[in-house]
Structure 1
Amino acid sequence: MTSVAVLVELLRTDTAGGHVKCWERFAESAARLPEPVVGGPDGPGLDLTVYFLGEPERVETLSPRVRLVMLPPVLSTTALMSADGAEDICDLAPHHPRLAALLPRHDVWHLTHNFAYAATAVRLARRAARKGARAPRLVGSVHTDVPLLASVYARYLAERWLPGTHRAVDDFLAERVETWLRRRRDRMLDSCARVLVPTPAGRAELAPAFGPHRVSLLRRGVDHERFRPDGTARAWLTGEYGVPTDRPLVLFAGRLDATKGVPLLAESVRLVRRRGRAVHLVMAGSGAEAAEVRRSLGPDVTLLGPLPQDRLARVYAGCDIFAFPSRTETCGNVVAEAMASGLAVVLPEHARTTQWLAAPGQDGVVVRRDDPRDWSDALCALVDRPWLLAAVRRRAAATAGQTHPSWDRVLTEDLLSVWLPRAPSGRRPAAWSDAIRAGPRTLTR
């Protein structure tokens, strides 16, 4: 039996972002794997624990061999949050003692971030190597361009804490933060035997630094049962949120800030309205730009706030177009969810989110420049030609059904081969009851 610990140092909530949702889906898939596939006489079994941040400390059991564990942060970023609380909460502590007490029971330590959990894991692994003790196998995966996101947040924080400073000062702080975090990320990943990235472009970027043999793909899956076309969703959306029924609905889902291109999208929709097209923008999420979007578009926008997955799925299915100008995504699972729901997606040219398209221009629209006029042209082209909008929506749903993998498939094809050795290690992981008794506190089920 091989025991794997996945370290997701983000707060787990019903409305958490794609990174958290990704590992929830992988854990659910692992719990569904039949024993002959996972273990049996021909290979090792899998015991999976996914660690999140959360209070109080607790464990949620998905199966006898799969569980989610929430540990309180040591140095939470809550104090750095904006008033709307849209940013992800992580842990900036250099060491997490409770995690350090639990990690030695696992054989594989999978890093998905580069803050407290990752720092703790790397430090313990290096200490074991120096002492000649049995060291865990470290694996790392890239889910978000954290350095780039942090540089944008640094500008927001500078405006909040140092109002009136020159823009050059804000740019300098943002650049320093991005450079420091990118170096820190690369140092963490350099400790890993394998580095997993979501796209071929990401593999090409990191392969020169870590070696092609150490970098491989970890795709994202789609829950095709949850995200699908639904002819009743539009009426539900109107009844729940009062959105108009007499015009196309343009949807955005994610953080409402500059990292996602929200200012660009808001101005684009404003131009579409000025050109006489009756469209309505629906936005699921919260963030620093929410007030400005409301001020700019007034009655032409509906702000839904953060939504849990099941409710978000109905919102997708009730809209017509999914516009997502973000260039910071390493993958952009919301794009796949929108296509599976039968929406026409509009994306920036050369953004990594375009990997979801099989035939750009047919199952989705790409916009060449990050200019509101170009984006308004793309939106108008769909709004003015209902037959074209319907055709793109049909092709998007077809592409999703035919080419976008399920979470079960990605787990089996991309993760199990990295986590599980060819032969059992001979070391059976301690029962969870033993790990709990050994720890300083009690995990409640």
Structure 2
Amino acid sequence: MSDPFGGVVGLLHAAAASSDVPSVAVLVDLVRTPSSGGQIKCWEHFAEAAAGMSPAALGVDLTVYTLGEAHRVERLSPAVRFVSVPPLLSTAPLVRKAGADVCDLSPHHPALNRLLPLHSVWHLTHMFSLANTAVRLRRTRQRAGPANRPGLVASVHTDVPALTSSYVQELLGRAPARLMPRAAPARLGELSARLARHRRDRLLRACDLVLVATPQERTDMTAVVGEERVSLLGRGVDHRLFRPDASARAELTRSHGVPADRTVVLFAGRADASKRVTLLAEAVRRLRDEGRSVHLVVAGTGHETEQVSRLLGLDATLLGTVSQDRLGRVYAGCDVFALPSLTETIGNVVGEAMACGLPVVLPAGARTTRWLASPGDDGLVVADDSVAGWARALAALVDDPAARAAMGRRAAATARATQRTWAQVLTEDLVPVWREVAPLRSPRAG
């Protein structure tokens, strides 16, 4: 029989025939590109860590499914691979202008009906087509008897309800005032968030175990699926790439014209409304208007870069998409890292910035503050979440270089003491869960 899936069926048959370890399918409901956001990067890091281990030491066979333009297999090692499947109802026309990752709104993806039964553990990471297909297929297989029941795990990487509300309000807010009542975007945004939360919780309740990033999320998720079904999944940091480097500033000045004589504030991530990069730009503009020597660098793409440019002009450097190999040098070449976002589940960029020796500035109540061992010592938490409040927090670091440098050293010390590698997180948080929920025997090729 011909294999329309780029060789993956034969590959998985061979893997199943040669190994008794659980075969894990991770379903990432997003299009994978070089500029993809943090969730894709997270699974790229886990896959690379897995590929660096021997199959025996890894203890599972790992396939990470993502969306892509065509069926394609990318082999990282004999036991690790990426597989892409085309979306059926892509959100690209809706969200690309908003800078969001592209997913698939189709309720069912037929390609997975053939691929998923080749795996013994199915791991959901989102709430769209691939996840919905897995939950439906598992219910069908359960009716055929316990022997056909795969293990089902989910990990929460994104606050989808909050992001849905943000994007709905942003899209509706562009409509002419005569067509859209002033209060309508907020009301419809809240309604869309409730619907997204209902859909997410329905999928999570079907799972054997749900992995979350923070103790706060663990408490919230316990109310949805029960305490015994919730576990923590950390994030890793590659300390070879992300570390202090005194020579990085000169490189940033030489390659991008970043002023050498100003305090440089860095934002890294998708430059859209959900990350609130415009709030940061407005705070930096206020500091410039007050006569302070400060400059903003934005590492990332998104439609709000246009607003940043309008607000700051030559007082901002827009780097666009920055590869992981270069991003560590960008961090190390700046003085302060600021992330106003309230929608992060963990915000790995915060850990990376701290590992590079930057003091980080974060909003009170954000889950990103979990990276700090001692708020106020290794990073700042902004209680007044307004332009004025952010400007005051940044001014404290701009005006006192010695205190800023000391906070950066403490941030780096926290990173060295507390941040695990991706391989450690994989072997400590993920592989034990996969093995726990796997059936007694992995499915064999027919």
Scaled by the length of structure 1, the TM-score of the pair is: 0.92
Map Cα deviations across residues 293-331 of structure 1 (whole Å, 9 max, x no partner): 111111111111122211222211110100111111110
**Is the counterpart of residue 250 in structure 1 residue 262 in structure 2?**
no
**Is the counterpart of residue 328 in structure 1 residue 349 in structure 2?**
no
Work out which of the residue numbers 365, 377, 381 in structure 2 matches 1:350: 365
Q: Secondary structure at the match of 1:251?
A: strand
- Residues 29-428 of structure 1 correspond to what in structure 2 (within 5 A)? 29-38=49-58, 45-83=59-97, 86-132=99-145, 134-160=148-174, 164=178, 165-421=180-436, 425-427=440-442
Letter in 2 for 1:57: H
In the alignment, is the contact (CA less than 8 A) between 1:264 and 1:370 conserved in 2? no
Give the drift of 1:259.
1.1
Work out which of the residue numbers 25, 32, 39 in structure 1 matches 2:45: 25
Map Cα deviations across residues 235-279 of structure 1 (whole Å, 9 max, x no partner): 221122111111111000112222112222111111111221110
Scaled by the length of structure 2, the TM-score of the pair is: 0.92
Letter in 1 for 2:269: G
Q: Secondary structure at the match of 1:347?
A: strand
Q: Within 2, Cα distance between the matches of 1:330 and 1:72?
A: 27
Give the drift of 1:184.
0.1
In the alignment, is the contact (CA less than 8 A) between 2:284 and 2:391 conserved in 1? yes
Structure 2 unpaired stretches of 5+: 1-20
Q: Within 2, Cα distance between the matches of 1:326 and 1:159?
A: 20
Quick one: structure 1 residues 323 and 422, their matched pair in 2 at CA, closer, same or farther if it must change by over 3 Å?
closer
Quick one: structure 1 residues 209 and 423, their matched pair in 2 at CA, closer, same or farther if it must change by over 3 Å?
closer
Q: Within 2, Cα distance between the matches of 1:99 and 1:82?
A: 26
Q: Secondary structure at the match of 1:421?
A: helix
In the alignment, is the contact (CA less than 8 A) between 1:74 and 1:96 conserved in 2? yes
Quick one: structure 1 residues 427 and 138, their matched pair in 2 at CA, closer, same or farther if it must change by over 3 Å?
closer
In the alignment, is the contact (CA less than 8 A) between 1:2 and 1:429 conserved in 2? no
Give the drift of 1:19.
0.2
Q: Within 1, Cα distance between the matches of 2:369 and 2:341?
A: 11
Give the drift of 1:422.
8.9
Q: Within 2, Cα distance between the matches of 1:93 and 1:428?
A: 27
Q: Secondary structure at the match of 1:167?
A: coil
Number of residue pairs matched? 424
Map Cα deviations across residues 161-188 of structure 1 (whole Å, 9 max, x no partner): 5664122111122112111110000000
In the alignment, is the contact (CA less than 8 A) between 1:15 and 1:309 conserved in 2? no
Structure 1 unpaired stretches of 5+: 39-44, 435-445
Quick one: structure 1 residues 228 and 141, their matched pair in 2 at CA, closer, same or farther if it must change by over 3 Å?
same
Give the drift of 1:33.
2.5
Map Cα deviations across residues 158-215 of structure 1 (whole Å, 9 max, x no partner): 1345664122111122112111110000000000000000000000111122111100
Letter in 2 for 1:47: D
Superposed CA RMSD: 1.7
In the alignment, is the contact (CA less than 8 A) between 1:250 and 1:281 conserved in 2? yes
Letter in 1 for 2:377: Q
Q: Within 1, Cα distance between the matches of 2:24 and 2:227?
A: 24
Quick one: structure 1 residues 204 and 414, their matched pair in 2 at CA, closer, same or farther if it must change by over 3 Å?
same
Give the drift of 1:225.
0.9
In the alignment, is the contact (CA less than 8 A) between 1:3 and 1:429 conserved in 2? no
Letter in 2 for 1:389: R
Quick one: structure 1 residues 35 and 47, their matched pair in 2 at CA, closer, same or farther if it must change by over 3 Å?
closer
Identity of aligned residues (%): 57
Q: Within 1, Cα distance between the matches of 2:330 and 2:437?
A: 44
Q: Secondary structure at the match of 2:436?
A: coil
